[in-house]
Amino acid sequence: MKFLNSVGGDSRSNAYAFLLNKQINDVIDIFGKNRIIKNDYENLNSCDIPLDNTTFIQEYFKKMGYMTLIGEDFMQGGIFNWPYCIGFEKPPVHHSLSALQVILERSDLKGLTKKIFRERCYSKGFFIQEYMDDFLQKYKNKLKFSILWHSYILHDELNSIFAGDDLLYDYFQRNEAYFNNSFNILMGDHGFKMSYFVGTNIGSFEYMNPYFILTIPNELKSNKKLLKNLNENSNKHISHFDIYATLIDLLTIASKDNFKNLDKQENFPIINNKIKGLSLLRPLPEYNRTCYEMRIPPQYCLCKVNIKKPTTSFNKERSKLAKGFIKALNNKLIVGNLTDKCSPMKLDETEEFKVEIIETNEFDFIYKINAITLPGQARYLALMNKNFEVINDEIIRTNIYKDQAEVCEKKSLYRMYCYCKILVKNEKK
């Protein structure tokens, strides 16, 4: 499907949407017509809330008799508990790789495990495919719901994904019989964001427009209504919340009706869980829903807006925007308790502080900011309002920060705004 719109800039916020039906960012209407849609946790930190027995999609399937698996290649933690989040206090699925994650953190076993990985050519996380092979064979006669989550293949380097072509092809080929009898989703949680590419028009669009493909069982490929709905919906604006709704539909109404009554959206029989999206198996509205309707914050919205460049008499406003941006950026270090480790940021005066004006209606507007800061030439993107404040306090880092931040801080959610002081000291020597 062409126009999947991510609901956040990182994996966690998007995973909460398509696996938990949870919104962790506030959503504003930049046109000023609607109230703010508050996040599901309001003033609480979603990281501190256990996810057990709530709305996790695999728990629903597990309760309905499905065997469940989640395999992640990121060994320092899972999507729901990295870096300091509670996540699940008890295993939510039958099978996971949490034991391997523990082993790889043990100093006495880490070297041995990495040696085995090298010998078996388990590069870029492709050991999770073999884990899935075993799962499919063990439960070949049972209902299954599995999630494989690759991080290493694309997170830091855009071109490394090509290394997976043959491995993925072989994986799908050897398991063809299973996939031909299943619904399968191949998708990203968000697009690539770790290079100058995201600063281009196509790069910024792809960052908010992750890949999404859905295949259906062979026996349903003669279902004309289902095919019609999927074909028409493939050109519609959709979000991660719609993926969650689709999975709920597969578990409940659509499968019970044998996929025969797909003429309209349904209210799903789920207690204490108001489904935020719409099922992709059923007709979506004729019009394209707005980002606000789909609970997508404006800084991640795919919809085109009227953008113009400031006039030559814009210096006063530009100065206020620059001050407001740097203040908000350095406040991230304060909130993240990183001021002892990380250097305060300032604008790189040798680079353009790029400002664009987004017209939200005939009389109103907001600013889109692209900034480069020192030390480290960090690149950021933000939306700011007429009061020269960062909207939703959301500042997006658009280049790699690992070598600048993780020297002194490996896990903070605010490390993307950090340039370690120890690096500055070393540069002065």
Domain boundary among 186, 202, 219: 219
Determine contact, residues 266/229, Cβ cutoff 8 Å: no
Task: Judge if 205 and 311 occupy the same domain.
Answer: no
237: in domain: no
Contact partners, residue 369, CB within 8 Å, separation at least 6: 321, 325, 353, 354, 355, 380, 381, 382, 383, 384
199: in domain: yes
pLDDT digits (tens, 9 = 90+) for 239-265: 999 999 999 999 999 999 999 999 999
Q: CA 143, 144, 148 angle in degrees (round to 5)?
A: 170
Pairing of strands 354-359, 144-149: unpaired
Total domain count, the chain: 2
373 in helix, strand or coil?
strand
Task: Judge if 59 and 178 occupy the same domain.
Answer: yes
pLDDT digits (tens, 9 = 90+) for 167-225: 889 999 999 999 999 999 999 999 988 777 877 888 888 999 999 999 999 999 999 99
281: in domain: no
311: in domain: yes
Task: Judge if 215 and 106 occupy the same domain.
Answer: yes
Domain boundary among 166, 186, 219: 219
264: in domain: no
Q: Which domain holds residue 36?
A: 10-219
pLDDT digits (tens, 9 = 90+) for 57-89: 999 999 999 999 999 988 778 899 988 899 999
Task: Judge if 86 and 201 occupy the same domain.
Answer: yes
**Residue 343 DSSP class:** P
Task: Judge if 212 and 314 occupy the same domain.
Answer: no
75: in domain: yes
**Which of 286, 188, 212 lies closest to 1 in space, CA to CA?**
212
Question: Which spans in 252-371 are helix H?
Answer: 253-256, 315-335
Determine contact, residues 64/251, Cβ cutoff 8 Å: yes
Contact partners, residue 345, CB within 8 Å, separation at least 6: 326, 329, 330, 333, 373, 374, 375, 378, 417, 419
286: in domain: no
Residue ranges for the chain with pLDDT beneath 50 = none
Q: CA 324, 328, 330 angle in degrees (round to 5)?
A: 120
Task: Judge if 214 and 312 occupy the same domain.
Answer: no
282: in domain: no
Task: Judge if 65 and 198 occupy the same domain.
Answer: yes
